Amino acid sequence: MGDMANSSIEFHPKPQQQREVPHVGGFGCTLAELRSLMELRGAEALQKIQEAYGDVSGLCRRLKTSPTEGLADNTNDLEKRRQIYGQNFIPPKQPKTFLQLVWEALQDVTLIILEVAAIVSLGLSFYAPPGEESEACGNVSGGAEDEGEAEAGWIEGAAILLSVICVVLVTAFNDWSKEKQFRGLQSRIEQEQKFTVIRNGQLLQVPVAALVVGDIAQVKYGDLLPADGVLIQGNDLKIDESSLTGESDHVRKSADKDPMLLSGTHVMEGSGRMVVTAVGVNSQTGIIFTLLGAGGEEEEKKDKKGKQQDGAMDSSQTRAKKQDGAVAMEMQPLKSAEGGEMEEREKKKANVPKKEKSVLQGKLTKLAVQIGKAGLVMSAITVIILVLYFVIETFVVDGRVWLAECTPVYVQYFVKFFIIGVTVLVVAVPEGLPLAVTISLAYSVKKMMKDNNLVRHLDACETMGNATAICSDKTGTLTTNRMTVVQSYLGDTHYKEIPAPSALTPKILDLLVHAISINSAYTTKILPPEKEGALPRQVGNKTECALLGFVLDLKRDFQPVREQIPEDQLYKVYTFNSVRKSMSTVIRMPDGGFRLFSKGASEILLKKCTNILNSNGELRGFRPRDRDDMVKKIIEPMACDGLRTICIAYRDFSAIQEPDWDNENEVVGDLTCIAVVGIEDPVRPEVPEAIRKCQRAGITVRMVTGDNINTARAIAAKCGIIQPGEDFLCLEGKEFNRRIRNEKGEIEQERLDKVWPKLRVLARSSPTDKHTLVKGIIDSTTGEQRQVVAVTGDGTNDGPALKKADVGFAMGIAGTDVAKEASDIILTDDNFTSIVKAVMWGRNVYDSISKFLQFQLTVNVVAVIVAFTGACITQDSPLKAVQMLWVNLIMDTFASLALATEPPTESLLLRKPYGRDKPLISRTMMKNILGHAVYQLTIIFTLLFVGELFFDIDSGRNAPLHSPPSEHYTIIFNTFVMMQLFNEINARKIHGERNVFDGIFSNPIFCTIVLGTFGIQIVIVQFGGKPFSCSPLSTEQWLWCLFVGVGELVWGQVIATIPTSQLKCLKEAGHGPGKDEMTDEELAEGEEEIDHAERELRRGQILWFRGLNRIQTQNFLSLFTVFRSTVS
């Protein structure tokens, strides 16, 4: 790691003036000095600080800052620091320009085939064969053609090129706006990240980007350090530096042993203050990022050389990788020193396409590939039949000879056939699918912001629709997280409300006030309310706020006590963590002795008490029997009222012999109990209704909490998680572990499977229990389908569970940075009801895609069959290439916009989750697709073969090569589009509902698109002329087309009447990828991925881009391979 950082200095040429003037801007340290200081660790670093600055306060003096007061909040000074030492911002990688995106969109295989066809067609149209021989070439150009018409041969090629340009621009614009939206989201997440600094002696929350060198920052449990610094004072500080060093052990930091704190590392325990010494690109994370940036360009050069071999395969991955660099402040884990093998493994892994966890994308990819293959086969057959028919008719039936001068004419025919074939393929391939997914997800993410869901990973939104289980925290999610002390046990008396100060002995009161004021984080405060009549503001840890509020209720104040004993005079602090479940602070007494104050979960702390204060404030013995009495009479009744019980205790040490402070069990023992208090955290009023909705939607809600079992059960009953008369389990962590582990203490899945289905409440649980439960439910194979689990978490220790879950929700207000980093969605209001909104949006995404599929496939089936049969019977597709492309454009791009932006309704919560294995296209949808296809095909073939008689017009069949557009074929085209338009309205419902207009006006985008498409269609038909192969229609003909279109709605009602259950013959399509389809490599990689994922912080962008690119890449890859094999 050391040499890595040293080598990085070359990447930053230092500004010239810094070499000549040692101390720029009046500061006593240069940027280079500070950078080289931050590369040292432990004893080396301490030695360097002592040699160069004397001590940390000497460093603070050189940086013109005060260790206690911080910087003066002076704009000029802050600006000067930014100019000299840099800003706390790592510039993101340049986004792709619009032209690059256009170029990427042009790489599409089908579009390339079309471009080639169009260019060949253009070239040939300008070649006029010598006139005399044309008779010899057969009836190539019929008499219907006059001079002007022959000239117009180029129009078709040009029109195809134009529509290709349209498709490319639309795709590129979509990618561009997607990128822009993602960057907006990213910067929003960054702006919301704040950090606590001291300026002018005041604690301020400033955005991470506003930190400057010389700032004094407060670090506490759960923070993600935003800059490098040197510790001034710390309490029991432990840091997880694995994101920089790859070492998973927590590193203990202290001002006298190892004071170096590095950006991108996580505070796992304790608290402290540091002076910021390096920010942005000069911090350790920044240096690595700069290396990555420089490395990225070299990679790209190498990539270009290697590209020829792997072709399309790798493009999606490199794209995802490049995007990956774009995350501005996300921390990249560095490979450990033995990087060689790791890189080898990485390379191997890069060649296996990574499997994503998004269910929808798996199903879509598979479906798109199947459709693409079918389309390819159809188009190949079409071309072969057309060519054979032409060759047999010209050379066998008419007995002509192939003359050299006729070659261009024949080639022109072949090109026309080729274009028809490609058109069939274009219509068959649903390239609107990735678009529909993108639009639907992007739209949902934008709207979910309003519902207090900040989505970090796009596919989490859709996975949420499949959720079958939610494991929720209690505090702050189901409850208001505004804690208050409502009962207490002081001096042998159980008070059901706050006691009057006069009722308590002064000694007890004094001890209580000191124990609470000193033994809690000094950053926790109760501030006056912001508005008149509002409640006082609670800042910091909510349990501590409740205790401080109790002090205020007893008409005393905690501030004077804290001023008397400031934080830097605390002798030793054992901070709260999930193992201790308690916090203790030691102070020095005036007589030279020590006093320890402790507070924590009552059942844990009471076991360490040997005395208790009686009503006079005197000590009396507290035996195990007394403890059992107290648990029965005081603690259980409090817990049954849904209260959380906290014990407050103290212990005095004499001045003669100082104990060994590192032997914590010795020190925190033999305590004297001052009080036990019951803290209430009321249930949020809207939660019971939200939980009822979840249960109705087939989602099981489980509560996982650190509270004791009685409190947990009381709250679960209030929320409606457990109902009287139901068969459910409420377990404590210990009992849970006893039931799921075998004699050797290993977890057995069979045992877990007996517990989790009935488990509703898991109390006194450790973070490991939470992770075990989530993993157990996900890995279980007992049900008919795999469970999809969502988890909420706010603490640092919830990271593993949040990462393991299918969807991790972090709390936006109470959550630590570590939890947010591990999560998929951040709840900006910490409220359980927002999770229900997320379920609704997730299901809506799924339904939107299904609606679009139902519509798209109807168009595909009809267009392909029409083009195919038409070509085989009449040697010419009734729908021309340009018309097909227009149909494709409206049906793909516009319809995906229209159907993907349907707002969700409450009715989505009335059905069970789809599950991972349910096919995308249900029987009902299959019935609709085939039903409507039958109607449309009947109409179109009727018009094709007897239409000219019905409308009394010339037949368009068997027209020569460049003949003018016929009314006959225009009517067919127009009818086709009208039917699609009305079928788009049918497609709004996929579960066989009758009223297809329900809520249509709540979606303005849908209405605009339907009317817009209709308007453009009128223009194309009336004024499109030769390029669109249209001839203007009369009003009567228009009305007939409209009439047939409206018939779609009537026909839709007829189809809805047929019961799906009777149609056993219908197949479903679009199943999720089955288990047997996973290759050995993927399985092996899956195992590796787990430990990788535990170490690495997932990044949303990879999923976002890789998912979409993969749909397109795989789609065209498989098309391409099939195409190659057919050609070869």
Q: Provide the annotated active-site residues.
A: 473
* Helix H or strand E encompassing 769: helix 767-779
CB 1057 within 8 A of CB 928: no
Instruction: Tell me which amino acid residue 593 is.
Output: G
* Residues 6+ away with beta carbon under 8 Å from 375: 424, 425, 427, 428, 429, 860, 864
CB 253 within 8 A of CB 238: yes
| Burial 350-382, CB ≥16 within 10 A → b, else e | eeebbbbebbbbbbbbbbbbebbbebbebbbeb
In degrees and rounded to multiples of 5, residue 1058 shows phi and psi of: -70, 120
- 714, two tokens: 């009381």
- Exposure of 917 in the CB half-sphere (CA atoms within 13 A): 7
CB 227 within 8 A of CB 211: yes
CB 535 within 8 A of CB 559: no
DSSP 480-533: ----EEEEEEETTEEESSPPPGGGS-HHHHHHHHHHHHHSS-TT-EEE--SSTT
Q: How many Cβ atoms sit within 10 Å of the Cβ of residue 319?
A: 19
**Cα–Cα distances in Å, from 884 out to 9, 888, 889?**
59, 6, 8
Strands 825-827 and 807-811: parallel
CB 1081 within 8 A of CB 331: no
Among candidate residues 550, 481, 443, the one with its CA nearest the CA of residue 898 = 443
Among candidate residues 810, 743, 803, the one with its CA nearest the CA of residue 778 = 803
Instruction: Tell me which amino acid residue 1069 is.
Output: A
Q: How many Cβ atoms sit within 10 Å of the Cβ of residue 996?
A: 17
CA–CA separation, 989 and 997 (whole Å) = 9
**Cα–Cα distances in Å, from 521 out to 554, 574, 812, 1095?**
20, 11, 21, 30
Among candidate residues 525, 676, 703, the one with its CA nearest the CA of residue 600 = 676
Start-end of H helices in 532-632: 542-553, 559-564, 602-605, 624-630
CB 967 within 8 A of CB 954: yes
**Distance linking the first and last C-alpha atoms of the chain:** 53
Residue showing tokens 């603690």 = 635
The alpha carbon of 265 is separated from its chain's Cα centroid by a whole number of angstroms, namely 22
Residue showing tokens 């939980």 = 691
DSSP 1002-1061: G-HHHHHHHHHHHHHHHHHHHH-TGGGT-----HHHHHHHHHHHHHHHHHHHHHHHS-GG
Strands 759-763 and 700-704: parallel
CB 677 within 8 A of CB 547: yes
CA–CA separation, 471 and 716 (whole Å) = 12
Instruction: Tell me which amino acid residue 1105 is.
Output: F
